[in-house]
Structure 1
Amino acid sequence: MHSYPHFRAGELDSVSSSAGYPSAAVSTKTKSPKRIDQADRRTKIRIDPPVSKPEPQLENRPLFKLSPRTHQLLGVQISGTGSYVPSRIVTNEELEESRGFEPGWIEQRSGIKERRYVAPGEATSDMCIHAARRAMADAGVTAEDVDLILVGTFTPDYITPSTACLVQDALGIDAPAVDLSAACSGFMYALVTGSQYIATGNSKCALILGADTNSVLVNPNDQRTAPLFGDGAGAVVLKPGSKEQGLSCYQLGSDGGGKDSLYVPAGGSACRIDQDHLDEMSQYLLMDGRTVFKWAIQALTGTVNLVLEKQGLTADDIKLFIAHQANSRIISKATNVIGIPDEKVFMNMHKYGNTSGGSIPIALDEARRAGLFKAGDTVLLSGFGAGLSWGTALFRW
């Protein structure tokens, strides 16, 4: 088993209002009320989805169906990175005290020690704007240079307009802007889509973001799910690069047959929210944790081995591995199987929890600023989540 964190990115200030950036923000921890009997604190969690279930799936259906198809997109470079996390720190101890969660369970099962929650009135677009400004400054580009904005998120400010449009307006950018919804794989889908625009010459400077405000989507009393998630945003700026730079091999995949493993039952056109759904808390995320855990390990090992094999590479050829920061046990088990050594695995979920679409770009920004890779290195990225969906890529820096 890997220990965590493998990299502390310069022991970043845990009360900063963004990932790895100086800030005057302070923790908003409050004194927890006197602990009472946990049985009185806990709210009964509905296990079965409060909506009609599809027909049972065949028992011999594979947990993970790996497609053999991969692709390549070269001539693309990441010229700048940036990230942002809210200033409010919510520790495991706070959740154990206020929600009656079992002491020590959260860290033992996930590797997560704390997470960040948005302040009242703070939304996904606000986090995106902060991250975008930092990435643009890092790349040395202005609003006039950006000609495309893509945001990977499944927690938009509104059903419509898109979060990307709100970012475009706030930054004063003249460009098309659109959201991509692929949950925890959202940033990888946005990265590949933006790279297509750059590689074909239809974009010269693309702003690609991944962000989610998970604290509004989880049932705060669900001890199996709520402690795992946090809020955050990350961004990269894509520009044309050399013929050696870019996505040397990647795969995007999906398996909608696993949708019931991780989904929000009510709120879409298939199940419109009424009072009964609110009473049942059907507007919150439901997750079959055991199934998702097993699936994620298979998804990571299967797709990572696939892209390495297609390029004739081994773990020795990879400078750094950045997986979606969902759970340290998932990453540890997968990297043990693949044979990626501890020193090449980046983890920061102990500080931020699972930030979904924000996970990979936040980690990428921290790792780059810590000097963990340089020009010419190959970084392995892999996202996986609801859909079910995944995206794995070898990015040559």
Structure 2
Amino acid sequence: MEEKKFNQIGVSFKGSGSYVPDQILTNQKISKKVDTSDEWIKSRTGISERRISSLGDNVTDMGYKAALNAIEKANWDVNTIDLIVLATSTPHDLFGSAPSIQAKLGASNAVAFDLTAACSGFLFALITASQFLKGGNFKRAVVIGADQLSSFVDWNDRRSCILFGDGAGALAIEATNEFDNFIGFNMRTDGERGSFLNLPFKNDRDSIIDNIDFLRGGFSPIQMNGQEVYKFAVKEVPIILKKLLKETNYSSERVDWLVLHQANQRILDSVGDKLKIPREKILSNLEKYGNTSAGTIPLMIDEAIKNNKIKQNDIIATSGFGAGLSWGAALIKWG
């Protein structure tokens, strides 16, 4: 049987969705656990509170709820979805959580897989899915970013525990032969600097029998050199965004919204200043959710759409950056 090939050249954005757990961990509550304060955290990060998964939450459920929301916004029949890509570094199943989301959605015709790139994950997944659609074999895709970093935080480390939260977001994208709203992208990796941000394997040695040893599975808490990650982000993100704007013949004045990975408010402001993008065009919900890794960008886009900020045909410049070290940028038109 001959494989079906669609005649398509571009990608359109049809719907967005998000989900965050109910539990709210404020700066004041963290201050009862470690030596810090609301003023200290806000002044250095911009974060006031973050969401923490309850015992009943996991990445599969969070991703499913965000995806279902996006599918409903797109008004799609789940049987018409061809591809599901889940960006996560904290899967509910280390073998992959995307297939479980596919099953919960009932999207039996979709191929589903996980993509791991930490805080760059959603952007990398969106780029990956868009290339599948432009290739002509798939028509509809759901791209999900979901992470449950609370499970991997050292809650006694005041340098890192203040930063992270849990959440998920999703976009429904569709191939089209009429236009292309995925205007352009760039991606970078520098493994030489990868030690600045890790969720490392524990390396706990054990023995099976006699002289046959092995390493028992498991991971240590998140380890981060915050100063180096900050310097990396404020240097590299403006460079890759400027390069992308130049390559696509867009000026920063034509950008309606700057949607960056929500890591630190000072990073967001610094990148915007270097691109000469005014503060009112820099979208931020960091204060409420903290750093949700792969969840931040789609969570921010969905919130901005619900709040009637992002509208049809708005130009969005976006960048994800983090562990790897990896970073990327994309320029899209909503709709």
* TM-score in same-fold range (> 0.5): yes
2:48 to 113, 116, 123: 113
Partners of 2:39 and 2:224 in 1: CA distance: 21
Calculate percent identity across the aligned residue pairs: 38
Q: For the Cα contact (< 8 Å) 1:266–1:273, is it kept in 2?
A: no
Query: What secondary structure does 1:104 align onto?
Result: helix
1:172 maps onto 2:133 in alignment: no
Q: Which has the higher strand share?
A: 2
Note the residue ranges of structure 2 that are not aligned, 5 or more in a row.
1-7, 207-217
Question: Mean alpha-carbon deviation: is it higher for 348-357 or for 139-148?
Answer: 139-148
2:237 to 300, 304, 312: 300
Number of the residue aligned with 2:161? 226
* Closer/same/farther in 2, CA of residues 282 and 221 from structure 1, 3 Å limit: farther
1:283 to 208, 213, 220: 220
2:283 aligned partner, one-letter code: F
Number of the residue aligned with 2:97? 163
Number of the residue aligned with 2:271? 334
Question: Mean alpha-carbon deviation: is it higher for 319-328 or for 361-370?
Answer: 361-370
2:72 to 137, 149, 152: 137
Deviation track 1:42-89 (CA, whole Å, cap 9, x = no partner) reads xxxxxxxxxxxxxxxxxxxxxxxxxxxxxxx96101101000000000
Number of the residue aligned with 1:126? 61
Number of the residue aligned with 2:327? 390
Query: What TM-score, normalized to structure 2?
Result: 0.90
CA drift of 1:122 comes to: 1.3
CA RMSD of aligned residues (A): 1.7
1:346 aligned partner, one-letter code: L
1:355 maps onto 2:289 in alignment: no
Number of the residue aligned with 1:258? 193
Number of the residue aligned with 2:87? 152
Q: For the Cα contact (< 8 Å) 1:80–1:136, is it kept in 2?
A: yes
Query: What secondary structure does 1:203 align onto?
Result: coil
Q: For the Cα contact (< 8 Å) 2:9–2:175, is it kept in 1?
A: no
Q: For the Cα contact (< 8 Å) 1:76–1:195, is it kept in 2?
A: yes
Q: For the Cα contact (< 8 Å) 1:74–1:246, is it kept in 2?
A: no
Partners of 1:87 and 1:109 in 2: CA distance: 25
Aligned length: 315
Query: What TM-score, normalized to structure 1?
Result: 0.77
Q: For the Cα contact (< 8 Å) 1:151–1:208, is it kept in 2?
A: yes
CA drift of 1:246 comes to: 2.4
Note the residue ranges of structure 1 that are not aligned, 5 or more in a row.
1-72, 275-280
Q: For the Cα contact (< 8 Å) 1:379–1:395, is it kept in 2?
A: yes
1:180 aligned partner, one-letter code: L
Which consecutive segments of 4 or more residues in structure 1 shift more than 3 A? 241-244, 271-274
CA drift of 1:333 comes to: 1.2
1:185 to 116, 120, 125: 120
* Closer/same/farther in 2, CA of residues 124 and 273 from structure 1, 3 Å limit: farther
